[in-house]
């Protein structure tokens, strides 16, 4: 997502990372019990994953996460007036890039005085599923996180 954010920044597209909570807490990154701890975890995530986008940290009770659907890895795109124009229950750079390209094209078409009317779309996208990378990330949280995930999802 860093690369994607960099690619579109010159076109006025901003990007943030909302840190909500540890989806799979473990010994290294346990469930958050204070904002100070949550901020430390967000900083560690920034450093480990080399996140270059601004990171906003949700409230300790996850109010923002709940308000926007509570999925573990969501992506949203909002227009300048704050209207959601894209929502995905999983972050996939190809899907997000496709949506950004589409909406940048809409802006250009509006500049060219095309009369456009909005409509809703649902589609099924596909993402790469890299189990080895997932478990490597899960292991950063600690053995407890790996064991609980395996027990829950086999």
**Residues 21-79: pLDDT tens digits?**
988 999 999 999 999 999 999 999 999 999 999 999 999 999 999 999 999 899 999 99
| Cα end-to-end distance, the chain, whole Å | 29
Residues 97 and 117: their CA atoms lie apart, in Å, by 22
* Residue-number span of the structural domain to which 137 is assigned: 2-153
Q: Which residue has the tokens 């795109």?
A: 77
**Is residue 76 a contact partner of residue 84, using CB atoms and an 8 Å limit?**
yes
Residue 100 has pLDDT above 90, yes or no: yes
110-147 per-position pLDDT tens digit: 999 999 999 999 999 999 999 999 999 999 999 999 99
* Local structure of 90: helix, strand or coil: strand
CATH code of the domain covering residue 123 = 3.40.30
Count: domains in the chain:
1
Report the pLDDT value the prediction gives residue 153, as an integer from 0 to 100. Answer: 87
Mean pLDDT value across residues 81-103: 96
Residue 12 CB neighbours (<10 A): 9
Distance CA 151, CA 154 (A): 6
pLDDT at position 154 over 90: no
């Amino acid at each position: 997502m860093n690369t994607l954010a960099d690619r579109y920044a010159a076109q006025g597209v901003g990007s943030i990372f909302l840190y909500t909570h540890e989806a799979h807490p473990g010994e290294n990154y346990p469930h958050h019990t204070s904002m100070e701890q949550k901020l430390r975890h967000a900083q560690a995530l920034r450093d480990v994953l080399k996140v270059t986008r601004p990171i906003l940290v949700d409230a300790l009770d996850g109010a923002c996460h709940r308000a926007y659907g509570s999925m573990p890895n969501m992506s949203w795109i909002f227009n300048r007036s704050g209207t959601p124009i894209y929502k995905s229950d999983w972050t996939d750079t190809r899907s997000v890039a496709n949506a950004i390209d589409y909406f940048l094209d809409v802006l250009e078409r509006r500049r060219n005085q095309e009369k456009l009317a909005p409509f809703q779309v649902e589609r099924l996208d596909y993402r790469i599923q890299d189990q080895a990378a997932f478990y490597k990330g899960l292991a950063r949280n600690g053995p407890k996180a790996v064991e609980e995930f395996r027990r829950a999802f086999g």
